[in-house]
Structure formats: structure tokens, C-alpha cells
Amino acid sequence: MREPVLKTSKVLQIAFIVSDVQAAAEKYARLFGIETPRVSMSDGYEKAQTVFMGKPSPARCKMAFIDLDNIQLEFIEPDENDSDWKRSLEEKGDSLHHIAFEVKGMKKQIESLEEDGAQCIQKGEYPGGRYAFMDTADEYMVKFELLEND
């Protein structure tokens, strides 16, 4: 076997950027006949350490999650600060934003994808782990998120 560019075997999430996370969560909850999931807010800079296009960013988002048997659907509503979430919403409206791969060793995985030609657009911490959005859309037809849970 060849050395992988991205060491993963699991897609953890399919994520959508939306202008109204409550409405999107309600719509999908109705689709599946389940209770509407709770909407939460991402952490501020002090905890999230958000970096957008190489610079610290105060951007936050509202989020809701629906757990299916084998994968999680995520709905993200950007706040007013510049971020990949916000730019995606401005450019494409409500849309599928990324698929999230489970990784271990975030730094190395980002570097490996960068050597492959991708760019790290945004990254940050969340309780229990960290994420990175990689600009893989030209090469792989969709933006990848790397998710490392401790």
C-alpha cells in the first residue's frame, strides 16, 4: 500500500452552512421524524483559537447536530465576523459545505494535505478536539474538514 495523503478511514460528518440554523435543524428533524436538536454556540476566541486565512479571528457560529446511525449531519450558521463559514454563505447561500474526516495528528495531516496542494483555510479548537478546513474543492470536489477528537 502507498503512504496516504490523508490518514483516515471514516467520514464523521456531512456539514451544511445555513442562514438560519434553527430552521434547518427543524426541517431535517421533521424529515427524519425526530425531535429538533438543540442549537449551541461555538466558543469565543479565547477557547476556540480560531484562525481564518492565517490570522486570529473572533468569528463564531451557531451549530446543530443530528446523529444518524453511522454519521452526523451538522448545520452551521455563521456570525457577522469574516470566516470561511460566512464567505461560503455569501457565495453559495444555504449549501453543503464540507465532509469531515476523522484524523489523528492534526498538524501532520494538515501538512500532508498542504504538500498535496491544498490550503488550510480555517482552524480552531472545540471542547475535546480541533478542526481544520482544507481547501480541497478543486482537487477533490468538496471541502474537507479534518476532525481530531482527543
What are residue 84's phi and psi, to 5 degrees?
-65, -35
Give the length of the chain: 150
Query: Using CB under 8 A, which of the segments 38-46, 52-60, 88-96, 122-130 binds a copy of itself?
Result: 88-96
Pairwise CA distance, residues 122 & 84, whole Å? 7
Is the C-alpha dihedral spanning 22, 20, 96, 49 positive or negative? negative
57 close to 42: Cβ distance less than 8 angstroms: no
What are residue 111's phi and psi, to 5 degrees?
-60, -40
For residue 44, give Cα distances in angstroms to 71, 84, 96.
Answer: 27, 16, 24
Could you tell me the smallest distance in angstroms from the CB atom of residue 47 to a copy of itself?
A: 29
Could you tell me the smallest distance in angstroms from the CB atom of residue 17 to a copy of itself?
A: 9
- The residues in 124-143 that bind a copy of itself, with binding defined as CB under 8 A, are 139-142
Measured from the CB atom, is 7 or 87 closer to a copy of itself? 7
- List 20, 32, 105, 107, residue binding a copy of itself (CB under 8 A): 32
If binding is defined by CB under 8 A, does position 46 make contact with a copy of itself? no
**145: which 3 cell numbers?**
474538514
If binding is defined by CB under 8 A, does position 103 make contact with a copy of itself? no
If binding is defined by CB under 8 A, does position 55 make contact with a copy of itself? no
Is the C-alpha dihedral spanning 71, 129, 125, 63 positive or negative? positive
Could you tell me the smallest distance in angstroms from the CB atom of residue 14 to a copy of itself?
A: 6
If binding is defined by CB under 8 A, does position 51 make contact with a copy of itself? no
Q: Which residues contact a copy of itself by CB under 8 A?
A: 1-11, 14, 16, 18, 24, 27-28, 30-35, 68-71, 94-96, 99, 116, 139-142
